[in-house]
Structure 1
Amino acid sequence: MSDGRLPVRRRWIGWTVGVLLSILLIAIGWVTIRGIGAVSDLQQVANGATQLKASIASGDLEEAERVSGSIARNAASADELTSDPVWQAFGAVPWLGPNFRAVSEIAEIAHDVSTNALTPLLDVAGGLDLAGLGVEGGTIDLAPFAEIEKPLGTASTALSAAELQAKRIDAGATLPPLADAIGELRSAVTGAASVVGSLHGASVLLPTMLGGEGPRNYVLAMQNNAELRSSGGIIGSIALLHAENGTITLQRQASTRDFPPLDTALPLSESTIALFDDRPGRYLQNITAIPDFAEAGEIIAARWTGRFGGTVDGVIAVDAVVAEHLMKATGDLAFGPFTATADTVTDILLSQIYAAVPDPATQDAIFAQAAGGLFSAALSGGDPRALIGALATSADESRIRIWSAHPEEEAVLAASELGGTIPTDSDDATYVGVLMNDTTGGKMDYYTRASITTSVGTCQGAPTTQVRVTWTNTAPADAATSLPAYVTADGFYGVPAGTVRTLIAVYGPEGATPAHVDRDGEEEGVQTAMLGDRSVVQHEVSLAPGESTTITVEFEGTGAGARFTEVRHTPLIEAPDTARKPLNCAT
């Protein structure tokens, strides 16, 4: 007869289950409380980052130091709250786990950046008179660069590591609000890594490149984005700079009219010839169509020495939007019949000048005045902090490209954004690219707009990277008659006035091959080439005013399907909308 008690084994199971449930409830409460604290800390880090940026921009380094201390404390607290064994155990739970791991990694990144990057950067800012980096009488004091090189290197290394760690977070497996936060984190860390990396590169290279160990000569090529080329735009004007012991002088200015086409093209790479025939080797205006600036810079230098002789130590290419960034530091600028502000200079240089000044030779003279005036304004002083910021922004947007004739310097440049080289894929980042080159023969790219999306995944069982480019002509419907003939090219190259004709080249990950190519859902003939180990697909697109087209290329095989895929593209007047979207296979 039973005494009403459960068997010992069943009592043991019930007791065990009860204990486990209690432990689970305690653990849930534990991570909930710690999670609320960590999220609060990370929100304070985000708010502090905004305050810190404003403090540094205003030159209030005491406030910046106070804010940075708060950031460091909150970041350390968030890291501690999300690194205990209970939190880490929840990171292994299906579905919920990726969210716990992501919060933990975000906290770790914030802690590492505040400790290993922010501290040395503020030490530099606090211990260095920024006026020493300014220009007085056309001379830059080279001594401070030795002081800032090491701490900038430390900060650059930390930010690069944080950037890679941020890219590794699987945002697609997290809840939407957290995925958005991860996207913001990646954008912020990538931007900081790019700017600090460029500043570190400058601190290493500038003392010698500015003539600290002997005089240097540089060709400055100014690109016009209203007629696109791979690295920004057609070369509109060109000049020679001389640097010696930090003193920079403008030695000579020239126009493209001083460089008639060559009967025999200069040597070009197979990929350049496959995409553009030998035109970049014959026409100065087309050299910047070359995708790799390491090749383009050397050819620009050869054209200068072939025309004027002398020695060229390097080439610097900038586009018209750089003027806008610089003028935020230097102030208004008068040239020809215009007085430009930072808000109006791009429109004047890339559009208004053609209506106000019909003669191309006069246009060239005005462009030269604008370039010379801006150069003089930058060298005459101004706020060094604002000038450095303007140059850093321009570099971050790939609007400044530099090639050096000195191999040891070129090696450093080629590894940075400033070098303008085709990037190298790695386990941490895979690259695709979109290059635009105008064949209208006018200045119609003032009216073009682009959007670029990337998607990765699997199509028909194969790893796939999809690149989709939408290209639009926003010119007015009556562009053929309302715009100057110089802008539309007036049909001179076989393109109806008002229509934009563009070569759009899409390159894929290293080792991948095109598996599907279409334009607006229809297949058409395309050019193909190789950029090193990258396959390139190039369409020639003609769009009347108001028209738009979408090109889709899917790459499969080795290198395709990588989650951390980034886009490199031609710098446009207005930056293209870029996005990552779920893969919808076109095949």
Structure 2
Amino acid sequence: MAEAAPVVIAADDGVNAAIASLAAIDRSALLPQVGGAVDQLAGELADLRLSTATASRAVQLIPPMMGIDGPRDYLVLVQNNAEPRALGGIVGSVLVLRAEEGSIELVEQVAGNSISFDEPVGDLTDSETAIFGSQLGRFMLNVTSTPDFPRAAQLASDMWIAERGETPAGVLSLDPVALAGLLGATGPVTTEAGLTLTADGAAQYLLNQIYLDEPDPAQQDVFFADAAASIFSALSGGSGDAQAAVSSLVQSSDQGRLMLWSSDPVEQSLLDGTQLAGEVPEVGSTPVVGVYLNDGSGAKIGYYLEVATSLAVSECRPDGSQRLRLKVDLTSAVPDLATLPAYLTGGGAFVPEGTIQTNLSVFGPSGGRILGVSGPEGEMPVLTQRQGDSPVSLITVTLNPSESMQLELELVTGKQVDGVPTLRTTPGPRATVQTIEPGCAATS
């Protein structure tokens, strides 16, 4: 791949140059049949650019990140969606992977709750502290409270440096659903404890069944890390179907379950804008709305939270902005409390036992506004902050077993933001039901 890099990069540059040349042609001066041919070629080149751009980034990123120029150590944050955080879940365990000359080796694993500080590591902004609390910079468990993965990864790296004095080359994050997908490629694996994990059952076991089977939290942490390490060992050892593994990783990236950050600014610039980067997008013609969950129950009861979201354009405004209506439906599917251990339910430490408390951070479109929030009893008073150019409404929802709640928010985008809306949500134990209607540009 390293040897092929110059050719692949040159091919991508050539495609971009051809696209620029075609864009400079005045179509009005051409005969219809010639103009049609130019348009067709432009479309074909645009499609080709998707492939050449991806290939160009890959050949520039993969060889150095795989240690072709020397060994590199990466942190792997394994998130636990049973206790939700904006990016997925708390950091249940941290693995250290070493890449050298194209091979990957697991060299260490620690529990996520083993790394904490009395004061925030790194400088949190005022808005970060207001929205996520100082815990964002104090506990490895909570770096995923922010929906911006590059920020979460930087904080995780800073914590590792402060704790160990070692600088990671980058940070990778994934969750048990992504790990279960990899088992579809590697086949079942057996942990050191002797438990066999399969593609069909791994996510449910790691996110729920382990808390029913093992009452000791310390042993739960050990098992969680052991399971993740066993899957990585199978993958790095070449077990299973490589093409199926790649397909699984692509799907996990599309779902926001797999993210990657590099401490090298040049490499990170190549990741920027890709699905793997996990960024909170800045302003553009496409309005992006985010619905992010942070658990307030202090338990693993988030496994039973069901989420559905819908985003629709309610008005196309003269200044090119769009008025949007966001609906968020939350339902507690908590079963009979008599069957659930206290560690899973929280034992009443923060909220009544069996209650799911969720702190929602709704990010409006960059450059836009959140006009109002309503619930079952009408308009709700909410705390509103700003994160960069995005308005953020903070809403706490408390659900008893079998209870549901629908929230409705009215938002407006910035001017000349008429593209199809995009909705980002926290990836949970199961897929979030999501509905999006076309934007103003698509209906004009």
TM-score, length of structure 2 as denominator length: 0.84
Residue from 282, 307, 310 that aligns with 1:424: 282
Q: Is the 8 A contact 1:217 1:313 kept in 2?
A: yes
1:358 equivalent to 2:215? Answer yes
Change in Cα spacing, 1:530 to 1:353, as seen in structure 2 (3 Å) is same
Cα distance in 1 for partners of 2:170, 2:278 equals: 14
Query: Displacement of 1:260 after TM fit?
Result: 3.4
Cα distance in 2 for partners of 1:348, 1:387 equals: 21
Once the two structures are superposed, what CA deviation does each residue of 1:404-452 show, in whole Å capped at 9, x if it has no partner?
A: 111111112222111111113323x221111111111111111111111
Query: Displacement of 1:458 after TM fit?
Result: 2.2
Letter in 2 for 1:146: A
Q: Is the 8 A contact 1:465 1:561 kept in 2?
A: no
Cα distance in 1 for partners of 2:170, 2:160 equals: 11
Query: Which one has more relative contact order, counting CA pairs under 8 Å at least 6 apart?
Result: 2
1:542 equivalent to 2:398? Answer yes
Residue from 353, 364, 380 that aligns with 2:237: 380
Once the two structures are superposed, what CA deviation does each residue of 1:488-537 show, in whole Å capped at 9, x if it has no partner?
A: 111112x1111111111111212111222112352223221212111111
Q: Is the 8 A contact 2:366 2:413 kept in 1?
A: no
Letter in 1 for 2:363: Y
Change in Cα spacing, 1:567 to 1:408, as seen in structure 2 (3 Å) is same
Cα distance in 2 for partners of 1:349, 1:371 equals: 9
Change in Cα spacing, 1:372 to 1:535, as seen in structure 2 (3 Å) is same
Change in Cα spacing, 1:272 to 1:496, as seen in structure 2 (3 Å) is same
Query: Displacement of 1:572 after TM fit?
Result: 1.5
What's 1:575 paired with?
431
Secondary structure in structure 1 of the residue aligned to 2:293? strand
Cα distance in 2 for partners of 1:575, 1:317 equals: 18
Cα distance in 2 for partners of 1:426, 1:214 equals: 39
1:553 equivalent to 2:409? Answer yes
Residue from 55, 68, 87 that aligns with 1:231: 87
Change in Cα spacing, 1:460 to 1:405, as seen in structure 2 (3 Å) is closer
Change in Cα spacing, 1:155 to 1:498, as seen in structure 2 (3 Å) is farther
What's 1:327 paired with?
183
Divergent runs of 4+, >3 A = 142-157, 192-203, 263-266, 459-463
Q: Name the structure where helix makes up a greater proportion of residues.
A: 1
Change in Cα spacing, 1:385 to 1:233, as seen in structure 2 (3 Å) is same
1:397 equivalent to 2:249? Answer no
Letter in 2 for 1:464: R
State how 1:99-248 maps to structure 2 within 5 Å. Answer: 142-143=1-2, 146=5, 149-150=8-9, 201-248=57-104
Secondary structure in structure 2 of the residue aligned to 1:242? strand
Cα distance in 1 for partners of 2:406, 2:113 equals: 36
Letter in 1 for 2:332: N
Once the two structures are superposed, what CA deviation does each residue of 1:26-47 show, in whole Å capped at 9, x if it has no partner?
A: xxxxxxxxxxxxxxxxxxxxxx
Letter in 1 for 2:327: R
Cα distance in 1 for partners of 2:272, 2:213 equals: 40
Q: Is the 8 A contact 1:152 1:199 kept in 2?
A: no
Q: Is the 8 A contact 1:456 1:563 kept in 2?
A: no
TM-score, length of structure 1 as denominator length: 0.64
Cα distance in 1 for partners of 2:9, 2:434 equals: 35
Once the two structures are superposed, what CA deviation does each residue of 1:151-170 show, in whole Å capped at 9, x if it has no partner?
A: 9959998xx99xxxxxxxxx
Over aligned residues, Cα RMSD in angstroms? 3.0
Cα distance in 2 for partners of 1:308, 1:557 equals: 44
Change in Cα spacing, 1:263 to 1:426, as seen in structure 2 (3 Å) is closer
State how 1:163-562 maps to structure 2 within 5 Å. Answer: 201-335=57-191, 336-381=193-238, 382-427=240-285, 429-458=286-315, 463-476=322-335, 478=336, 480-493=337-350, 495-520=351-376, 522-556=378-412, 558-559=414-415, 562=418
Cα distance in 1 for partners of 2:163, 2:413 equals: 47
Cα distance in 2 for partners of 1:151, 1:280 equals: 42
Letter in 2 for 1:534: S
Cα distance in 2 for partners of 1:465, 1:410 equals: 33
Change in Cα spacing, 1:556 to 1:204, as seen in structure 2 (3 Å) is same
Change in Cα spacing, 1:200 to 1:396, as seen in structure 2 (3 Å) is farther
Cα distance in 1 for partners of 2:382, 2:371 equals: 13
Secondary structure in structure 2 of the residue aligned to 1:321? helix
Change in Cα spacing, 1:329 to 1:557, as seen in structure 2 (3 Å) is closer
Look at both structures and tell me which one has the larger radius of gyration over its CA atoms: 1
Segment drifting more, 357-366 vs 525-534: 525-534
Secondary structure in structure 2 of the residue aligned to 1:304? helix
Cα distance in 2 for partners of 1:395, 1:147 equals: 27
Cα distance in 2 for partners of 1:322, 1:376 equals: 15
Letter in 2 for 1:330: T
Letter in 1 for 2:229: G
Identity of aligned residues (%): 34
Change in Cα spacing, 1:572 to 1:196, as seen in structure 2 (3 Å) is farther
Secondary structure in structure 2 of the residue aligned to 1:366? helix
Letter in 1 for 2:84: L
Q: Is the 8 A contact 2:287 2:413 kept in 1?
A: no
Letter in 2 for 1:433: G
Letter in 2 for 1:386: A
Query: Displacement of 1:195 after TM fit?
Result: 9.7
Segment drifting more, 253-262 vs 433-442: 253-262
Cα distance in 2 for partners of 1:360, 1:147 equals: 51
Query: Displacement of 1:209 after TM fit?
Result: 1.0
Letter in 1 for 2:346: A
Secondary structure in structure 1 of the residue aligned to 2:379? coil
Cα distance in 1 for partners of 2:62, 2:317 equals: 51
Q: Is the 8 A contact 1:145 1:207 kept in 2?
A: no
Once the two structures are superposed, what CA deviation does each residue of 1:65-96 show, in whole Å capped at 9, x if it has no partner?
A: xxxxxxxxxxxxxxxxxxxxxxxxxxxxxxxx
Q: Structure 1 unaligned runs (5+)?
A: 1-141, 162-188
Letter in 2 for 1:232: G
Q: Is the 8 A contact 2:187 2:199 kept in 1?
A: yes
Segment drifting more, 466-475 vs 334-343: 334-343
Cα distance in 2 for partners of 1:451, 1:250 equals: 37
Query: Displacement of 1:384 after TM fit?
Result: 1.5
Query: Displacement of 1:265 after TM fit?
Result: 4.9
Change in Cα spacing, 1:471 to 1:254, as seen in structure 2 (3 Å) is same
Once the two structures are superposed, what CA deviation does each residue of 1:93-152 show, in whole Å capped at 9, x if it has no partner?
A: xxxxxxxxxxxxxxxxxxxxxxxxxxxxxxxxxxxxxxxxxxxxxxxxx55763994599
